[in-house]
Structure 1
Amino acid sequence: MSANIFINARFLTQPVTGVQRYAREVVKALDHLIEHGEIDKSKYRFTLLSPRRETKAPLELKHIPLQQVGFLSGHAWEQLELPLYSRGGLLINLCNTGPLLKDSQVVTIHDAGVFAFPEAYSFAFRVWYRILFKELGKRARKIITVSSFSKNELIRFCGIDPEKIEVIYEGKEQVFSVAPDYSILEKFDAEKPFILAVSSLSPHKNFQAVVRAIELLGHTGFQFVIAGGVNPKVFKSSAEPLPGGVIHLGYVSDGQLWALYEKAACFVYPSFYEGFGLPPLEAMACGCPVIVSEVASLPEICGDAALYCNPHSASDIADKVKQVMNNAGLRQRLRQKGLERVKMFTWLECARKTFELIKTVLNPY
């Protein structure tokens, strides 16, 4: 008799951001393991369960069917209907949330940002997720998280038993799910060396420090290219334009981002708080040297393949940019170390370890 394993696929009805990307890649990798016989489909039957809403970007899977169930949506569907439809099986939740009315479940909690960096979240979101994380930490059979840093944060803030938490690193390949789109390079003079950064309204991403570092650098022989949908003017005390030599591209697709990573002289990521930190790995995978914060999970993930900066010091960020841009040998060393470092992180290995954890929950003895 096969074991029923249900996957909470509410993520299929949501815009694709970090945690949804993770869920999609893990599910695709599990399907791959079934296809190649690493998971015996006669013993383990996987099913995706999602609300009856149009999916944002359907997954093309061979062995894991999707069932759209229930009448509600959002948190109400997850809390009230998902436990009913996942009866008789183990439920896998990959995006920080899960139903409080189900004990037989595994939950991936990516970080403890709602505790450690509360200003990045709305009051209602912060309150709900703080309750959810603590209760899921008690009720779930196992908690997966994506770095040792996040494990320690969940123990500190949520009081979760360390024995219950399993660290399983993410992969890095999703930027390669499409071909690079070099048309984005026509929007500026890509023949000149450029530094790439990604803008975000979230305070913990610390984009303001990038803006201040640009101002401190003044006129240089290189450009700053900002990718992201946010108007950088919101980070300024006035509506004045950004310093000269800065190109703001707005929203870019995955293919365009891949092209930017490939052509950039370096990628700057001075985030205050990351449970894992996927963008620096994506940049490394494209052969782009990276400058990252010396805090949170980033040293654990990037190892000796990055140049580290103090995220609280715009002058230090500016200094690190000058070091990289003025030293071709350093850029080449970072490029080579980055390409080697990313070999540690694959979605197939992430899925294998997730499945091994699933088996221990189903067969604890």
Structure 2
Amino acid sequence: MSGVKVLVDATSVPADRGGVGRYVDGLLSALAHVGDEIDLSVVCQRTDAERYLGLVPEAEVIAAPSAVTHRPARLAWEQTGLPMLAQQLGVEVLHSPFYTCPLRAGCPVTVTVHDATFFTERDHYDKARGTFFRSAIKTSLRRASRVVVPSKATRDELVRLLDVDESHVDVAYHGVDPEAFHIPAPAEKARVAARLGLAETPYVAFLGVMEPRKNVPNLVRGWVSAVRRMPAPPALVLAGGSGHDDAIDDAVAEVPVHLKVVRPGYLRFADLPGFLGGALVAAYPSYGEGFGLPILEAMACGAPVLTTPRLSLPEVGGDAVAYTGEEPDAIASDLAKLLGDEQQRSKLSILGVERARDFTWQRSASAHLATWRKAAGKSV
């Protein structure tokens, strides 16, 4: 089987290495181990060049112009400079990992569409962002030779909402790095708890971008109802990047003075296992996800997870997580039940770790390779 020559455009990876960063890093790291099945090139922001040279030493890593750190300039370069680079490298496939792609690339293009919530949860996005991504997704679905999605739920939603040809869409589940996300040692848990000011206080953990789709205000109100009468109530830690959900501040302002909410912002990547694995419960009551990487990472760290049965989340969590509704009353009831049942939390911890092992970046890389071979007209 001959290898396929692929250029991956990693210029969309943000400095905070959130969801798209985890995806691209995990995928490229796994592609480093597929041997002669691929001839890989990666174009990235200048600050990431050394990182990718370390992740994929056999790949050709190209630093894009410094201007691509600004989104408008990156999108303009994507339409002009990226196709020129693909032509210079003589690649057979260009992969765009974050919704947008060149309209005229001179070679087959594959694109990752991470979710369909820009269509199903319109009210949870500001108008400009929602309009941009809905347009970008429609354009990519028309232009791309093949589309990669991280779940069957996302594929099915694109088919249902946009009349996409199902045979044009390939499912490639995300993975989780077992070295980065692992059951933490007691010292790891203690170190992170101390940094959060919770050395003597148990806590419920949330990790994600603070945007309306994540349903953080209802989590805050549900947590208050669940713990307010407990003699030693656990704190709530809302970790992750600031988004555009002003309702979170309103919900936090309503929290009784005897309860503690901690908002540390971004945590260091090395602290995530201790943070997630040290939580009584990792709560993620999202209105819908294209995959649900935060619950997979929490499962891998041994955290009992409480989430919603929306879109892809049951595909990831299966029977290894507890489910709740989106409203505060449902969250309060199910969170209180889980906090009061140590045996169930222990069971979910064990089941979550076992299930997380099924989601590997190597499997994801194999699925992407199959997609790229199809796009290049090669046998799979």
TM over 0.5: yes
Deviation at 1:112, TM superposition (A): 1.3
1:250 match: secondary structure = strand
The answer as to whether partners of 2:119 and 2:134 remain within 8 angstroms in 1 is yes
The answer as to whether partners of 2:112 and 2:148 remain within 8 angstroms in 1 is yes
Could you list the runs of 5+ residues in structure 1 that have no partner in the other structure? none
Q: What residue in structure 2 maps to residue 92 of structure 1?
A: 95
Query: CA-atom RMSD, angstroms?
Result: 2.7
1:248 match: secondary structure = strand
| Residue range with higher mean Cα deviation, 77-86 or 214-223 | 214-223
Judged with a 3 Å threshold, the aligned counterparts in structure 2 of structure 1 residues 342 and 78 are, in CA distance, closer, same or farther, namely same
The answer as to whether partners of 2:175 and 2:361 remain within 8 angstroms in 1 is yes
Could you list the runs of 5+ residues in structure 2 that have no partner in the other structure? 69-73
Check if 1:67 corresponds to 2:75: no
Judged with a 3 Å threshold, the aligned counterparts in structure 2 of structure 1 residues 2 and 193 are, in CA distance, closer, same or farther, namely closer
Alpha-carbon distance between aligned partners in 2 of 1:288 and 1:2, rounded to the nearest angstrom: 40
Alpha-carbon distance between aligned partners in 2 of 1:356 and 1:12, rounded to the nearest angstrom: 23
The answer as to whether partners of 2:181 and 2:297 remain within 8 angstroms in 1 is no
Q: What residue in structure 2 maps to residue 48 of structure 1?
A: 42
Deviation at 1:50, TM superposition (A): 3.4
Equivalent runs, 1:316-331 vs 2, <5 Å: 316-331=330-345
Judged with a 3 Å threshold, the aligned counterparts in structure 2 of structure 1 residues 175 and 280 are, in CA distance, closer, same or farther, namely farther
Question: Residue type matched to 1:318 in 2?
Answer: A
Check if 1:211 corresponds to 2:220: yes
Alpha-carbon distance between aligned partners in 2 of 1:238 and 1:135, rounded to the nearest angstrom: 38
Which of 183, 200, 215 is the aligned partner of 2:191? 183
Judged with a 3 Å threshold, the aligned counterparts in structure 2 of structure 1 residues 194 and 49 are, in CA distance, closer, same or farther, namely closer
Q: What residue in structure 2 maps to residue 278 of structure 1?
A: 293
Question: Residue type matched to 2:41 in 1?
Answer: T
Alpha-carbon distance between aligned partners in 1 of 2:367 and 2:223, rounded to the nearest angstrom: 42
Q: What residue in structure 2 maps to residue 173 of structure 1?
A: 177
TM-score normalised per structure 2: 0.85
Deviation at 1:326, TM superposition (A): 1.1
Q: What residue in structure 1 maps to residue 76 of structure 2?
A: 76
Q: What residue in structure 1 maps to residue 237 of structure 2?
A: 226
| Residue range with higher mean Cα deviation, 140-149 or 116-125 | 116-125
Check if 1:160 corresponds to 2:164: yes
The answer as to whether partners of 2:13 and 2:20 remain within 8 angstroms in 1 is no
The answer as to whether partners of 2:171 and 2:367 remain within 8 angstroms in 1 is no
The answer as to whether partners of 2:281 and 2:304 remain within 8 angstroms in 1 is yes
Judged with a 3 Å threshold, the aligned counterparts in structure 2 of structure 1 residues 200 and 9 are, in CA distance, closer, same or farther, namely closer
Check if 1:340 corresponds to 2:341: no
Alpha-carbon distance between aligned partners in 2 of 1:162 and 1:26, rounded to the nearest angstrom: 23
Q: What residue in structure 2 maps to residue 4 of structure 1?
A: 5
- Write the deviation string for residues 10-42 of structure 1: whole angstroms up to 9, x where unpaired: 1346542212220121011101323xxxx34xx
Q: What residue in structure 1 maps to residue 152 of structure 2?
A: 148
Q: What residue in structure 1 maps to residue 26 of structure 2?
A: 25
TM-score normalised per structure 1: 0.88
Question: Residue type matched to 1:62 in 2?
Answer: P
Number of aligned pairs?
Answer: 356
Question: Residue type matched to 1:58 in 2?
Answer: R
